[in-house]
Structures are given as structure tokens and as C-alpha cells.
Amino acid sequence: MKQTLSIVKIGGNLIEDNAALNSFLTAFSELSGLKILVHGGGKKASEVLGQLGITPQMTNGRRITDQDTLDVVTMVYGGLINKNLVARLQALGCNALGMSGADANSIQARKRPIKEVDYGFAGDVANVNAEKLNQILQIGLTPVFCALTHNGKGQLLNTNADTIASEIAISLSTNYHIVLYYCFELPGVLEDIKDPKSIISKINGDSYQKLVDKGIIAQGMLPKMHNAFASLKNGVREVRIGNLNVFQKEKDNYTTLVI
């Protein structure tokens, strides 16, 4: 029987809310077995860009990463957020190891080709180094990934954290029974966005399409769901979407994706 590996993605809103982050980190550190944390940080990056007089450039909700922006996200994701998360996890007894995709050559990416939009130094994941990640897990460390990868030629690339989580999950699914958690500010995918009790407890491929057609799954949730279903189709055993409740045993407390 394969060992269970939990891969947990947290978004920027959670990182910015100190009380919520404390609760999250405590719950994460108490999660038994092997685990990996993946974090975003776009809100803080936009704040630092503003302080430096650089206007964040976005198209269709995606950041355009010019050289100055790359330097700032490298500072904020790889430095400020990552190192503080690691230090706080250490205080909770979790032996965290902060990483970008360049570290241990863990995630190589390709610079996104220029089509209608030039996204600049944005990377699409090309390869996850499952062997090295496995060795890091087996010496008792908990990788904490920021949303940066590299192209293997010395260039760092800004990469969507949801995608990093699902690509790591797929890559390690040969070795482990993977449970992938997407944690954000809502308790799950909601039938009615205004009613936190209206959690849709299970979504499969069919019902997903209906929810998209009805407009219940829209905007920022679309790429998250796309990544989630892709990971299920490629070996990941379970995907849970919600906030801290994803760590509970009651299966109706969060949204579970199935195929």
C-alpha cells in the first residue's frame, strides 16, 4: 500500500490574514504523514510593486511579468513569504524546507510562448523532479514551494501556484497516495456564493460542466478546477477544496472532486 502524501495549496488572501494563517499553519503542522505546502502571494507582490512605484500589469487575471516584476515576485514569493512561513512552521515542530522550482532542480518550466499576449517571464511547468522531491521527503523534510520555477538555463520564471500544486501531485502520484488540498477563504465550492452553508460536497466531470454552464463556477475558480480535474485524471486520488475544514474527516464539510 502506498504511503499517503498531502499536498496543500494556500492562496494569497489566507497569507495576508494573520489570524487565519496561524490557524492554517497549526492545522497543517498537525497533519500526520508526509506533506508539501504550496503558496501564492500575489497580493503582497502587488503591494511591494506599488511601494517601488511599479504598476502591476494584469491581463485576464494573469500577471504580466517584466524584469522588474520578476525581481519583486522573486523577493516576495521566494524571500519574504516563503522564509516567514518556514520559520513559523519550524516553531510548530514542522521541519519545513522552503523551495522554488530552481532549488534541487525540482520544477523546470518553459517561458510561455508569445501569442496574443506577451506574459514576459511566466513559466509553464515542463518537468517535476519526482526522484529528488522523494529523497527530500524521505529525509524528513516538508517542502514549502513558492510560485517560482526555472528554465534550467539560469532564468527564474513566475508560475501559477495552483498549477505547481497539481503538477507536483501528478508527478508524485506514482510513488504516493496523493490527497491534494486547495485551501482558500471559502469553505468549498458554494451553490450560493452568499451562503457559506451551501457547500457542494461532491463534484464530478458531469456536474462540473453543469456548474460552469449555470455560472456557479466562474472566473478564478475555473483554472483551479481545471488543474484539479487534470490531476485526478493523472493519478491523484482525491482533491478537496475549502478552507481549514478540508482537514476534517466529515466529507460534507468541503468540496470533494471525483472523476
Structure-block grid coordinates of residue 177: 497516495
Binding of residue 79 to a second copy (CB under 8 A): yes
Q: Which of 99, 125, 128, 172 binds a second copy (CB under 8 A)?
A: 99
Size of the site for a second copy (CB under 8 A): 42
Binding of residue 109 to a second copy (CB under 8 A): no
Q: Where are the alpha helices (H) located in 65-104, listed in sequence order?
A: 67-73, 82-91
Q: Is the dihedral of CA 59, 225, 23, 252 positive or negative?
A: positive
Nearest approach in angstroms of CB 143 to a second copy is 10
Cβ atoms of 97 and 61 closer than 8 Å: no
Q: How far apart are CA 63 and CA 84, in angstroms?
A: 23
Nearest approach in angstroms of CB 132 to a second copy is 7
Nearest approach in angstroms of CB 158 to a second copy is 12
Binding of residue 78 to a second copy (CB under 8 A): yes
Binding of residue 139 to a second copy (CB under 8 A): yes
Per-residue x/- marks for a second copy, 145-184, CB under 8 A? ---x-x-xxxxx----------------------------
Q: Which of 10, 27, 97, 239 binds a second copy (CB under 8 A)?
A: 97
Stretch of residues binding a second copy (CB under 8 A), selected from 11-19, 139-147, 177-185, 249-257:
139-147
Report the chain's C-alpha Rg in angstroms: 18
Q: How far apart are CA 3 and CA 47, in angstroms?
A: 40
Q: Which residue type, as a one-letter code, is found at position 72?
A: V
Q: Which residue type, as a one-letter code, is found at position 234?
A: N
Stretch of residues binding a second copy (CB under 8 A), selected from 57-65, 84-92, 210-218, 248-256:
84-92
Q: How far apart are CA 206 and CA 149, in angstroms?
A: 33
Residue 74 vs 253, nearer CB to a second copy: 74
Q: How far apart are CA 180 and CA 172, in angstroms?
A: 11
Q: Which residue type, as a one-letter code, is found at position 200?
A: I
**58-59 and 202-203 strand pairing:** unpaired
Binding of residue 91 to a second copy (CB under 8 A): yes
| Contacting residues toward a second copy, per CB under 8 A | 48, 51-52, 71, 74-80, 82-84, 86-88, 90-91, 95-100, 102-105, 132, 135-136, 139-141, 148, 150, 152-156
